[in-house]
Amino acid sequence: MKYYTSLDLSEHLDKSELKQDTYYYELSLNKKHDLQSLNKIFNDEVSIASKEEFEVVSNYVKTLSQTDWIYLEQLEAIIKNGVETENRTDTDTISIFGTQNRYDLSKSFPLLTTKKTVLRNIITELIWFIQGDTNLKYLKDVNNPIWNQWRRPYNLNRGLAKVRIRKENEYVNCIYEKGDLIEVINKYAERLYNNELDVKLYKLWANLMAKAYLGTGDYSISKEWQDYDTFIKEVKSLPHWYYKTEDWDSFVLSNAYYSSSVFSKDTSVWLRKDEEELYLENNMIIKVTHYNGEVELYFNKEELNKHLGLDLEELLQKEYEELTPREKNIYDEFELSQIKEYEPSDGFVYRNKLIKDDDMGPIYGFNWRQFDYVDQLSNVIQEIKTNPNSRRLIISAWNPKEIDNMALPPCHTMFQFKVTNGKLDCQLYQRSADFPIGVPFNIASYALLVYLIAKECDLTPGEFIHTTGDTHIYVNQLEAVKQQLTRLPYPAPTLTIKDWNGVFNFTSDQVELNNYKSHKFLKMPVAK
- The residues annotated with a catalytic role in the active site are 411
> Do 285 and 163 contact (CB within 8 A), yes or no?
yes
How is 135-163 classified by DSSP, letter by letter?
Answer: BTHHHHHTT--TTGGG--SS-TT--SPPE
Q: Rounded to an integer, what distance in angstroms lies between the CA atom of residue 125 and that of residue 526?
A: 18
Q: Rounded to an integer, what distance in angstroms lies between the CA atom of residue 72 and that of residue 112?
A: 10
| Residue ranges in 95-142 assigned as alpha helix (H) | 119-130, 137-141
Q: Rounded to an integer, what distance in angstroms lies between the CA atom of residue 47 and that of residue 44?
A: 10
Q: Rounded to an integer, what distance in angstroms lies between the CA atom of residue 19 and that of residue 485?
A: 9
Q: Using alpha carbons only, how large is the chain's radius of gyration in Å? A: 28
| Residue ranges in 225-375 assigned as alpha helix (H) | 228-235, 241-246, 273-281, 301-308, 312-317, 325-333, 353-357, 364-370
Q: Rounded to an integer, what distance in angstroms lies between the CA atom of residue 498 and that of residue 504?
A: 15
The phi-psi region of residue 387 (left if phi > 0; otherwise alpha if psi is between -120 and 50; otherwise beta) is: beta
The upper half-sphere exposure of residue 11, i.e. CA atoms within 13 Å in the direction of its Cβ, equals 5
> Do 7 and 55 contact (CB within 8 A), yes or no?
no
Angle between helices 196-214 and 228-235 (to 10 degrees): 120
> Do 489 and 117 contact (CB within 8 A), yes or no?
no
User: In three state form, how does the secondary structure of 79-90 look?
Assistant: HHHCEEECCCCC
List CB contacts of 67: < 8 A, sequence separation 6 or more.
Answer: 103, 108, 110, 111, 112, 113, 443, 492
